[in-house]
């Protein structure tokens, strides 16, 4: 597999899988162009790094499909000055994309092995504005709050209350809600005058958010 192959696969991803399907935010497209997705998957899966599908990673988890990562990043409405909380670091790919679009990204992963690997990878690739933490992300990260956006990359059965408490006024929570299997509905909750405005954004499929409590 040559680097030219990856360059053209990435261009195909941008044109056919993202722009053609409604990803119009140029900041999202620039971030997806910038982050080398091949660095976030195993050697064997590198030729498929820019396929528009989720790929398996360690411990039965997945790296989300490029369209899903872009969709959530676009729904977060980032302009560059924001503090973002991501739940479910996984490989660190989503955090890297968000890091290109916001001031700081705080990301929480419950599996030590994934958290360590992602932390090292993000450091090696030079993403200096990402801070990782091992723990149950359904509790958010109170010490680092408030956040302008909270992006949850695993399926929750309901909206964890901690997220509302840690959201800045005007902030957005992007979260897939629904039971495992059969897909979940992606919601955007926007905090306005201390209340949450709810929008349903379509069906997606995620691994479950596993809560310790
Ligand atoms: N954003 C990731 C994809 C994440 S898949 C990427 O770009 O690669 C969902 C991740 O959420 C998995 O790594 C899973 O271990 C993690 N997860 C599940 N429940 C969690 C919880 N309660 N707290 C933190 N992480 C959790």
The pLDDT profile of the chain, 213 residues, written as one tens digit per residue, is 678 999 999 999 999 999 999 999 999 999 999 999 999 999 999 999 999 999 999 888 889 999 999 999 999 999 999 999 999 999 999 999 999 999 999 999 999 999 999 999 999 999 999 999 999 999 999 999 999 999 999 999 999 999 999 999 999 999 999 987 779 999 999 999 989 999 999 999 998 999 876
The pLDDT of residue 58: 84
Query: What's the pLDDT at 197?
Result: 98
Q: How far is the CA of 116 from the centre of ligand 1 (A)?
A: 13
Which residue ranges make up each domain of the chain? 53-204
The pLDDT of residue 187 is 98
Of all protein residues, whose CA lies closest to atom 26 belonging to ligand 1? 88
Please report the atom of ligand 1 found closest to the CA of residue 91.
8
pLDDT at res. 67:
97
* 3 tagged catalytic: no
Atom 17 in ligand 1: residue holding the nearest Cα = 88
The pLDDT, as a whole number, for residue 61 is 87
CA of 16 to the centre of ligand 1 (A): 27
What contacts 24+ positions apart, CB below 8 Å, involve 204-208?
Answer: 204/68, 204/71, 204/176, 206/64, 206/153, 206/154, 206/155, 206/176, 207/60, 207/61, 207/62, 207/154, 207/155, 208/154, 208/155, 208/180
CB 148 less than 6 A from any atom of ligand 1 = no
Spacing of C-alpha 80 from chain mean position = 16
State which of 153, 159, 180, 213 you would mutate to test the pocket of ligand 1, scoring each by most atoms of that ligand within 8 A of its C-beta: 153
Which residue in 8, 42, 64, 145 is the catalytic one? 64
Q: What architecture is domain 53-204?
A: 3-Layer(aba) Sandwich (3.40)
pTM higher than 0.75: yes
pLDDT of residue 213: 61
């Amino acid at each position: 597999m040559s680097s030219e192959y990856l360059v053209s696969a990435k261009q195909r991803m941008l044109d056919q899988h993202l722009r053609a399907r409604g990803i119009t935010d140029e900041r999202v497209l620039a971030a997806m162009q910038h982050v080398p997705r091949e660095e976030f998957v195993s050697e064997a899966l590198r030729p498929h790094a820019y396929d528009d599908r989720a790929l398996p990673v360690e411990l039965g988890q997945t790296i989300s499909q490029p369209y899903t990562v872009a969709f959530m990043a676009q729904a977060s409405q980032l302009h560059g000055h924001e503090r973002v909380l991501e739940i479910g670091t996984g490989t660190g790919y989503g955090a890297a994309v968000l890091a290109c679009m916001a001031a700081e990204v705080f990301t929480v992963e419950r599996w030590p092995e994934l958290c360590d690997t992602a932390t090292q990878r993000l450091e090696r690739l030079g993403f200096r504005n990402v801070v990782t933490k091992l723990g149950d992300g359904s509790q958010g990260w109170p010490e680092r709050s408030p956040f302008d956006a909270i992006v949850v990359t695993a399926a929750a059965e309901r909206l964890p209350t901690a997220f509302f408490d840690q959201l800045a006024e005007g902030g957005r929570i992007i979260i897939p809600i629904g039971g495992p299997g059969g897909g979940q509905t992606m919601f955007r909750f926007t905090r306005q005058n201390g209340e949450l405005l709810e929008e349903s954004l379509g069906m997606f499929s995620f691994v479950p958010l596993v809560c310790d409590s």
